[in-house]
Amino acid sequence: MAKHHPDLIFCRKQAGVAIGRLCEKCDGKCVICDSYVRPCTLVRICDECNYGSYQGRCVICGGPGVSDAYYCKECTIQEKDLRSNISPKRSNLPTFAQRDGCPKIVNLGSSKTDLFYERKKYGFKKR
């Protein structure tokens, strides 16, 4: 999802043994590129993102998870680096994924609302 919402932020802490989940709506998506084809590597998230009430939540939208999340083959081959628009210097985030770190989206709540106002600010009509 983050591919199409540039303001979403990945957790990117060192991934652990916890397995990422996806909700019914996001089921089948690659957590990086939103592809529905060729799921390949199981997503691991960090222990904090799997803690307490976060356990079993959707990696992308925070909804109740129904299935395991996967990276698609393409993202696996590319060792899908963190999104290329965040350079490590600027973001101050650790720079690694499962190879890059935990792909859980951490700023979900605010970004959707922000998006609404951002659109409004620039006068986009709501479709």
Partner 1 sequence: MFLYNLTLQRATGISFAIHGNFSGTKQQEIVVSRGKILELLRPDPNTGKVHTLLTVEVFGVIRSLMAFRLTGGTKDYIVVGSDSGRIVILEYQPSKNMFEKIHQETFGKSGCRRIVPGQFLAVDPKGRAVMISAIEKQKLVYILNRDAAARLTISSPLEAHKANTLVYHVVGVDVGFENPMFACLEMDYEEADNDPTGEAAANTQQTLTFYELDLGLNHVVRKYSEPLEEHGNFLITVPGGSDGPSGVLICSENYITYKNFGDQPDIRCPIPRRRNDLDDPERGMIFVCSATHKTKSMFFFLAQTEQGDIFKITLETDEDMVTEIRLKYFDTVPVAAAMCVLKTGFLFVASEFGNHYLYQIAHLGDDDEEPEFSSAMPLEEGDTFFFQPRPLKNLVLVDELDSLSPILFCQETGVMAVYPQYSHVRLCYSRLHCSAERIADLANEDTPQLYVACGRGPRSSLRVLRHGLEVSEMAVSELPGNPNAVWTVRRHIEDEFDAYIIVSFVNATLVLSIGETVEEVTDSGFLGTTPTLSCSLLGDDALVQVYPDGIRHIRADKRVNEWKTPGKKTIVKCAVNQRQVVIALTGGELVYFEMDPSGQLNEYTERKEMSADVVCMSLANVPPGEQRSRFLAVGLVDNTVRIISLDPSDCLQPLSMQALPAQPESLCIVEMGGTEKQDELGERGSIGFLYLNIGLQNGVLLRTVLDPVTGDLSDTRTRYLGSRPVKLFRVRMQGQEAVLAMSSRSWLSYSYQSRFHLTPLSYETLEFASGFASEQCPEGIVAISTNTLRILALEKLGAVFNQVAFPLQYTPRKFVIHPESNNLIIIETDHNAYTEATKAQRKQQMAEEMVEAAGEDERELAAEMAAAFLNENLPESIFGAPKAGNGQWASVIRVMNPIQGNTLDLVQLEQNEAAFSVAVCRFSNTGEDWYVLVGVAKDLILNPRSVAGGFVYTYKLVNNGEKLEFLHKTPVEEVPAAIAPFQGRVLIGVGKLLRVYDLGKKKLLRKCENKHIANYISGIQTIGHRVIVSDVQESFIWVRYKRNENQLIIFADDTYPRWVTTASLLDYDTVAGADKFGNICVVRLPPNTNDEVDEDPTGNKALWDRGLLNGASQKAEVIMNYHVGETVLSLQKTTLIPGGSESLVYTTLSGGIGILVPFTSHEDHDFFQHVEMHLRSEHPPLCGRDHLSFRSYYFPVKNVIDGDLCEQFNSMEPNKQKNVSEELDRTPPEVSKKLEDIRTRYAF
Contacting residues toward partner 1, per CB under 8 A: 14-18, 44, 46-47, 77, 79, 81, 96-100
Residue 44 or 111 with smaller CB distance to partner 1: 44
In the complex, the smallest distance separating the C-beta of residue 108 from partner 1, rounded to whole angstroms, is 23
In the complex, the smallest distance separating the C-beta of residue 123 from partner 1, rounded to whole angstroms, is 42
Closest CA to 80 of 49, 48, 103, 47: 103
Helices and strands, number each (H, E), in the chain: 3, 6
Residue 23 or 30 with smaller CB distance to partner 1: 30
Residue 43: other Cβ atoms inside 10 A: 24
Residue 77 or 115 with smaller CB distance to partner 1: 77
Residue 11 or 100 with smaller CB distance to partner 1: 100
In the complex, the smallest distance separating the C-beta of residue 121 from partner 1, rounded to whole angstroms, is 38
Any idea which residue has 């540039």 for tokens? 6
Bridge partners (DSSP) of residue 105 are 10
In the complex, the smallest distance separating the C-beta of residue 91 from partner 1, rounded to whole angstroms, is 16
DSSP symbol at 10: B
Rounded distance between C-alpha atoms, residue 65 and residue 23, angstroms = 4
